[in-house]
Structure 1
Amino acid sequence: MKNFTALVFLFLVPFSLFAQPKTIVFQTDFGLKDGAVSAMKGVVMGVNPTIRIFDLTHEIPAYNIWEAAYRLEQTAPYWPEGTIFVSVVDPGVGTERKSVVLKTKSGHYFVGPDNGSLTLIAESLGIQEIREIDEAINRRRNSQNSYTFHGRDVYAYTAARLAAGFITFAKVGKRLPNEVVKIPFQKPVLEGNAIVGNIPILDIQYGNVWTNIPADLFKKLNIAAGQKVKITVWQSDKQVFQGEMPFANTFGEVPEGQNMSYFNSLMNFSFAVNMGDFSTKYGVKSGPEWKVRVEK
């Protein structure tokens, strides 16, 4: 009798419940002062309580689509194939911007608005396929009259259904061309004896300045540890900083309070004040409009 009951149970319960659900990683500009993030996680639990949920960050500055784009690129490569990222920095919520799921060539999924926040991840991990979310199917029940919380009603819900195996990627919605809305920025290029690049982000806890110039490109300048580097920084067309500083392997190689340059944890060229705050001291910030020139 027990065996018969077990067989009946197997036929009645959807097979997807026995599959190992994927992981969902949330990123927003909501902060944690209210219940918005918890509501999104509750929607996921309501779909399948065995889905694993993690946070990338909820401290993206309000409406800062560029920083959302950067944090995805900074983080996603370290997560396993199949991980689903829900990124909700969406000042245009409720407007005509598309709600999409992007599958990269690395096998990661990104759920959210196509508003520029996919700029960097599409470029670095490659676009395998993009689908527009069909809200007639992939929207939380009885939420059709809610226009300002797609993170809860559309993105968390769609991600959970995809993670649990209740829908395939093809069931997300219609396939779109392999293109995303892009935020323009300065890509790193070698110009004679100098490299020009972008300052995408700050190491915000310390005020260090991170560029998008990779170590392999910087090494073409043939600058050894201890040698001076000339750095010029612009915000749009306005020069904000110019100066020389040594290139070092570690912070301990220069005196406290001295300017220095180095490779950060992502192996990109960066500069800082040892035991100080370069950003505050010199008024250097980050974003797509910030450009840097590095030369001997």
Structure 2
Amino acid sequence: MKTPLIRSSELSELNSCNVWLKMESAQPTGSFKQRSIGNACLKYVEKGAKKFISSSGGNAGISVAYMGKALNIPVTVIVPKTTSQKAIDLMLQQDAEVIVQGESWVEANELALSLVNDEAIYIHPFDDQYLWDGVATIIDEVIADGIYPNAVILSVGGGSLISGIHQGLKRNHLDIPIYAIETDGTASLNTAMKMGKHIKLEEVTGIATTLAAKQVCENAFLISQSENVQAMTVSDQDAVTACLKFLDDHRTLVEPACGATLSVLYDKKISFSPTEDVLVIVCGGASITFEQLSKYAEQFSLKTVA
């Protein structure tokens, strides 16, 4: 669904530019994954899918489950042990079958792939052209709202968001920098860019679990090598602090994976001119709760308001 585009007075004043928030947190499932997964599910139904199989640590699985219920198609989601109970509960609420397998997404994904057949179609959480096609509509909506951004800031996990945003920018003839944000413990794109190779991290760590892909999709890496992509990393504490500030400023709860992007603006890590329009993808996060965010805040000795 079309999401609001909001000018943030707080972040605009803080960064001396015009900061525009694309509120993907307002999607029915709480994250931009509804846009990408939703498009993929619809396309595969057109091709005859009778069941959806997916692997996910959270947002993607929730969106597959949502689409399955909406389309009256059974869904099985394989999740790693790191998946929050909140995320699992949200999948179960949509009548999906949820199987917990392995310590990481890689292990969960192996089981998911083994369940695929001619009618049970695999929905990848981040590496599929249909996903990117869905995400690209974000830029179409921004342009339709009359904003032609001078830069885009977004978080990177597996790479579907940056892949789709890049596609949307290209078809709208926008050649602007993309600031790709990761946490220190999930910096698969940042590390690959530094090495100039499509590498896989030995491990991913930290609380931004929805960014925890050991390797970004090849398309995201290729974009980073050919386009104006500026990779940055932030600490888990920076991400949580930004989540708390954003909750106060915009009355919206987002997960640390989204807070990572917001933190570079709250901490003024990028310089913009007063006339520039900066687009921020508020990717959301369905499985975060205020209780969990408060626990993270306590972990980092941050203040919260009950």
Superposed pair shares fold, TM > 0.5: no
**Which of the five TM-score ranges fits, normalised by the shorter chain?**
under 0.3
Higher relative contact order (CA 8 A, sep 6+): 2
Q: TM-score, normalised by structure 1?
A: 0.27
Q: Which has the higher strand share?
A: 1
Q: Which has the higher helix share?
A: 2
Q: TM-score, normalised by structure 2?
A: 0.26
